[in-house]
Amino acid sequence: MNVLVTGGAGYIGSHICAQLCACGHTPVILDDFSNAKPDIPARLQQLTGQRPVVYRGDVRDAALLDHVFAAAEIGAVIHTAGKKAVGESVTDPQLYYENNVHGLLALTKAMAVHGVFTLVFSSSATVYSETNPVPYREGNAVLAGTSPYGRTKLIAEWILKDLAAADARWRVALLRYFNPIGADPSGLIGDDPAGVPNNLMPYICQVAAGVRPELTVFGNDYPTADGTCERDYIHVSDLAAGHIQALEYLAAHAGVLEVNLGTGQPVSVLGLIETFIKATGQPVPYRIGPRRAGDIPAYYAAVEKAKTVLGFEAACSVEQMCCDAWRFAKNSYGGI
């Protein structure tokens, strides 16, 4: 099957493309490369032996979407394109609603016109209200969106639920990612953010590589075992595999599936740093700083639904996530 992967040159999208190839599917990438390096298609070719078809442009561009659906026989869409920095969404909400909500509307409009109704959507744990008990469980959870970014994801989920309620042809999987880290074991693709990283693992890697002098841990007085925030880190390759399982599920089921993709295991900020140091042998200088506004002490996924419904279970250990992230970082920063 030809699968359109919007944002397919990005961190998660590129890993999904690699898995699609491994499973005999053909990824078709639509990406504006606003947050992706131009050599990703070449790297994917090196990794998979298959040069992906790439359309460079904006997912909000109706004419481009029309062209893509007319040119390639698309069987399903995986929509990862979007903006993802929580802090930036607070200072520039317009950018986030424009990109993430308008992007989804343009895409689903084009899909319906071209008779494609199968969609896997990159949602996020940030759709859960922090008032929910942990682990966050699909079903009766309170959904609130903890930031403008989270609310764009929640609005997108509502749009997709409303579309499916209006037209029984829609088959939609809302995949609520927890904290994807790591990289393909080849070291060819990984998380390579432009500028100062917003996420912990790329920051750790840049400090380990000497690109930045030290890491600041935001607060060690939270009500957690070691006082630092706890998150549910999942290897990006496990996460990508979940998309293939979601496509298989949608081939047999109409309607909307909402499901968490995580490991169900909380890991603290200090725990991740210490595991990285032990697994890679690289020093990571860090200091404890004040709490960061908006950080929640701890959240992690309930994973039973993913296992029961999709047969999904994350396989990789935190050590493996650290080693794979570091292999990619070493390749990216060169000669370390």
Ligand X SMILES: NC(=O)c1ccc[n+]([C@@H]2O[C@H](COP(=O)([O-])OP(=O)(O)OC[C@H]3O[C@@H](n4cnc5c(N)ncnc54)[C@H](O)[C@@H]3O)[C@@H](O)[C@H]2O)c1
Active site residue 149: yes
Nearest-approach distance from CB 11 to ligand X, in angstroms: 4
Answer for which of 48, 99, 147, 332 binds ligand X (CB under 6 A) is 99
Peptide bond into 38 cis (omega under 30): no
Stretch that binds ligand X, among 80-88, 159-167, 264-272, 325-333 (CB under 6 A): 80-88
Strands (DSSP E) along the chain, which ranges? 2-6, 26-31, 53-56, 74-79, 118-124, 171-177, 179-181, 215-218, 230-231, 233-235, 255-261, 267-268, 286-289
Q: Which is closer to ligand X, CB of 9 or CB of 154?
A: 9
CB 119 within 8 A of CB 77: yes
* Strands, sheet with 26-31, edge to edge from the N-terminal-most edge strand: 53-56, 26-31, 2-6, 74-79, 118-124, 171-177, 255-261
Kind of pairing between the strands at 267-268 and 230-231: antiparallel
User: Can residue 197 be called a binding residue for ligand X (CB under 6 A)?
Assistant: no
Distance between CA atoms of residues 219 and 233, nearest Å: 19
Nearest-approach distance from CB 168 to ligand X, in angstroms: 26
Which pair of tokens denotes residue 47? 């990794």
Answer for which of 21, 27, 35, 119 binds ligand X (CB under 6 A) is 35
Site for ligand X in 116-145 (CB under 6 A): 122, 124
User: Can residue 59 be called a binding residue for ligand X (CB under 6 A)?
Assistant: yes
Which pair of tokens denotes residue 128? 């859960």
CB 8 within 8 A of CB 120: no
Answer for which of 3, 4, 13, 237 binds ligand X (CB under 6 A) is 13
User: Can residue 27 be called a binding residue for ligand X (CB under 6 A)?
Assistant: no
User: Can residue 198 be called a binding residue for ligand X (CB under 6 A)?
Assistant: no
User: Can residue 65 be called a binding residue for ligand X (CB under 6 A)?
Assistant: no
Size of the site for ligand X (CB under 6 A): 28
Q: Which residues contact 256 (CB under 8 A, 6 or more apart)?
A: 160, 161, 164, 170, 172, 173, 174
Q: Which is closer to ligand X, CB of 161 or CB of 227?
A: 161
User: Can residue 331 be called a binding residue for ligand X (CB under 6 A)?
Assistant: no
Stretch that binds ligand X, among 2-10, 111-119, 133-141, 157-165 (CB under 6 A): 2-10
* Catalytic residue selected from 149, 203, 222, 233: 149
Q: How far are the Cα atoms of 225, 228, 265 from residue 218, in angstroms, in the given order?
A: 15, 8, 21
Interface residue list for ligand X (CB under 6 A) = 6-7, 9-13, 31-36, 58-60, 80-82, 84, 99, 103, 122, 124, 177, 179-180, 199
Catalytic residues: 149
